[in-house]
Structure formats: structure tokens, C-alpha cells
Structure 1
Amino acid sequence: MKSRMSVIKFRWLLVIALVAALLGWLVTVLANRAGLPTPVLPYSALITLALVIVLVVILGVRVRRWRNGNHEKDLSPILAARTLILAQASAYAGAIILGWHFGALVDALTTTFYGASISVLGAPVALMLGSLAMVAAGIIVERFCRIPPEDGADSAAGSA
């Protein structure tokens, strides 16, 4: 039986982000009503996001170079598969972080409308931008890991 990895579905990324946004908004409202701080990641999380993005891109470029014919260094098929899985995981994780912070941003916008400090908008916006970069890196590296179809494979299969 042939196993095939599925590609990232943009609809799923959108659904995940929307569900996370709803949960983020709901938890933020409940936390603020209870007098707790807004549940968003600190600015230092941007460093972690950046490190994940750099790691995904470095591994993806290595797979892409090998795929495009640079066979000076061997590439383990396991490493290529793990790179693909890491790229997909970073895209989905980025969608969750994006959605959560969008929900927190919606609540923060309503509180700033009623006179709260505008500084509460900084962390959600910064983390949304970082998570968008993480989603983009995951999608791009997933495309790096695709094996192009062989020219003769389709014609040979059709004639047989």
C-alpha cells in the first residue's frame, strides 16, 4: 500500500485560525472579567518564532538544493520527511497563534475604544505578524519538499 503525505490545505489553516480566534477572544473576555491579565504571549516569544522560522527555512533550503540537483552532500530521506513535517507543523502552529492573538486583539480593541491604553495592542499585533511569517515559512518550505513529476513516468504508464 502506497502512503502519501497530504499537502497543507488553506481552508484548514483558515478554520484553525478562526476557531483559535474565537477561543482566544472568549478566554480573553473571561480573563479580563475575572481581573486576570490578557492571555497573550510575551514579546520574547517572537525570538522563539524567529528561531523556528530560521530552522524550517534552513532545512527546507537544504532539501530544495538536493531536489534541484546539488547532490554534493547526501540527503537522508528521513531528514527530508522530517523537514516536510516540521514545515507543516509550523504552518498549523502559526495559524493557531495567529487566531488566538487575533481574538485577543479584538477584545483589546474594544477596551481601547472605551478608554484603555493603546499599548495593550502591541503584543497581539506583533505576535500576529510573527505567526504570519511562521505560516508563510511552513507553506514555502512544504513546496520546497515536493518532488517534481518525472517526465517519462506519465507517458510510460500511459503506454503500458
Structure 2
Amino acid sequence: MSTLRFRWLALVGVLAGLAGWLANWLATRNGYGTPTLPLTSLVTTAVILGITLVFGRRVLRWRNGNRDRPLDPILATRTLVLAQACAYAGALSLGWHAGILVDQVALLAVRSTTAPLWGSVALMVGGILMIVVGLVVESFCRLPPDDDGTGAPGSIEGEYA
């Protein structure tokens, strides 16, 4: 399995930002509300981050030598996939709400409230946290260069647990 590429994360973020800006531009100019997630979605984001960190911590403990019982390879693979999905979802959320924020800043002069602005900022912070946790947990799943997962010395560089 390949590692996360910053270029792909950036591309997802930029495309989502353009889509978010366009969706907000169309919605606000046609009398609809701002197409942001509700702030309660930050609770779901926190739960996802917590689950990702718990599974990542299990893999990290095994990787750092706590091998009193074998690590389930399916669990390790699912943890890696969860970490990468978390990072991509964070890039998507960050980009979408950044695009909305850009359009909302332009509307500050005609708006009576700044609630959509602060909501977008809060959800952008949630997206940044998802990217960071995804990258950190992905690094937890990486085997050291001299470890092949069996405890014997090896030379598998960049392999995942």
C-alpha cells in the first residue's frame, strides 16, 4: 500500500474549495442558505479522530516492541486505510469550507451576521485536525527500516505493519 501523497491531498483540497466556492456562490445568489455542514458534525469528526487514534495506538504499541500477542494484519491494514481516509476526508472538508469562507468574506458588507463565516472556520479546523491525525496514524503503521514485522532483522524500508 502506498503512502499518502501531499500533492493528492492538496489537489482534493483545491478541487473541493472550487466546488465549495461555486456551490456557495450559486446558493447565496439564488436565495438559498450556505451549504456548510452543521457545527454538530464536529462531534462526529471528534469521534472519528478518537477511533483512528485508538486503533493507531494499538499498532504503534506493537511496532514499538509490545509484542506479547501477535498483531492482527487485517486490523493493521484497516487502521492504515482508516488513517488515509481520515486525511482525505479532512482535505475535502478543509477545501470545501475554505471555498465557502472565501465567498462569505466577500459578502460581509451585505450580511447582518457572521455565523456562516465562523462555522466555516470551525469546520476548516476540524478538517486540518483530520489531516494531521491521518498523517500521524499512517506514520504509526510504518515499520522501522530494520524490521520486517517478525522481530528478525530485515531491510524492508517503508513497509507497513
TM-score by length of 1: 0.89
2:141 aligned with 1:145: yes
What is the identity, as a one-letter code, of the residue corresponding to 2:13?
A
Give the whole-Å Cα distance in 2 for the aligned partners of 1:149 and 1:11.
24
TM-fit CA distance, 1:82: 0.3
Q: Which has the higher contact order (CA 8 A, sep 6+)?
A: 1
Give the whole-Å Cα distance in 1 for the aligned partners of 2:68 and 2:128.
34
Give SS of 2:23's match.
helix
Q: Which residue of 2 aligns with 1:62?
A: 58
Q: Which moved more, 1:5-14 or 1:115-124?
A: 115-124
What is the identity, as a one-letter code, of the residue corresponding to 1:59?
F
Give the whole-Å Cα distance in 1 for the aligned partners of 2:143 and 2:64.
9
Q: Gapped runs of 5+ residues in structure 2?
A: 148-152, 156-161
Give SS of 2:108's match.
helix
Deviations 1:79-100 (A, max 9, x none): 0000000000000010000000
Describe how 1:1-160 pairs up with structure 2 within 5 A.
5-150=1-146, 152-154=153-155
Give the whole-Å Cα distance in 2 for the aligned partners of 1:122 and 1:136.
21
Q: After the TM superposition, which parts of structure 1 deviate over 6 Å for at least 4 consecutive aligned residues?
A: none
Of all paired residues, the percent bearing the same amino acid is 48
Q: Which moved more, 1:130-139 or 1:69-78?
A: 69-78
Q: How many residues are aligned here?
A: 150
Q: Gapped runs of 5+ residues in structure 1?
A: 155-160
1:83–1:131 CA distance, 2 compared to 1 (3 A): same
TM-fit CA distance, 1:35: 0.7
Q: Which residue of 2 aligns with 1:158?
A: none
RMSD: 1.3
Q: Which moved more, 1:113-122 or 1:77-86?
A: 113-122
Give the whole-Å Cα distance in 2 for the aligned partners of 1:13 and 1:113.
33
Q: Which residue of 1 aligns with 2:158?
A: none
What is the identity, as a one-letter code, of the residue corresponding to 1:153?
G
Deviations 1:31-66 (A, max 9, x none): 111111000000000000000000001100110000
TM-fit CA distance, 1:11: 1.0
TM-score by length of 2: 0.89
Deviations 1:69-115 (A, max 9, x none): 10234320000000000000000010000000000101110110344
